[in-house]
Amino acid sequence: MSTDVITLSGLRVHGRHGVFDHEREAGQDFIVDVALATSTAKAAATDDLQHTVDYGTLADTLADIVSGEPCNLIETLAERLAAACLEDGRVERARVTVHKPQAPIAQRFTDVSVTIERSRER
């Protein structure tokens, strides 16, 4: 398995995920971080984008998922995002964190997040 990692941090997207009606109606910002285990050797040797993960395209794909079909739990959202990351055949493993800094919690807090790690099945 490769030791190279491509990281996209702080992708902020408005979504309508949550179990409460007001979360679905008004929505809120979610912040996504992904770390992708992949080999960057061929891309580095050729200096060619086609041999690596295009993080601009990946950001668009992840944003579409976050702004798309709502789910109750950020755990479900994280699974959807990880699956999208693994669709790129070059990605061996994806670590995804979904932050919900405006979660409906009565106490003062900075952030709520869920982190999952998924690997490509071989």
3-state secondary structure of 7: strand
42 is catalytic: no
Residues forming a β-bridge with 112: none
Candidates 42, 100, 116, 121; catalytic one? 100
Q: What is the set of active-site residues?
A: 100
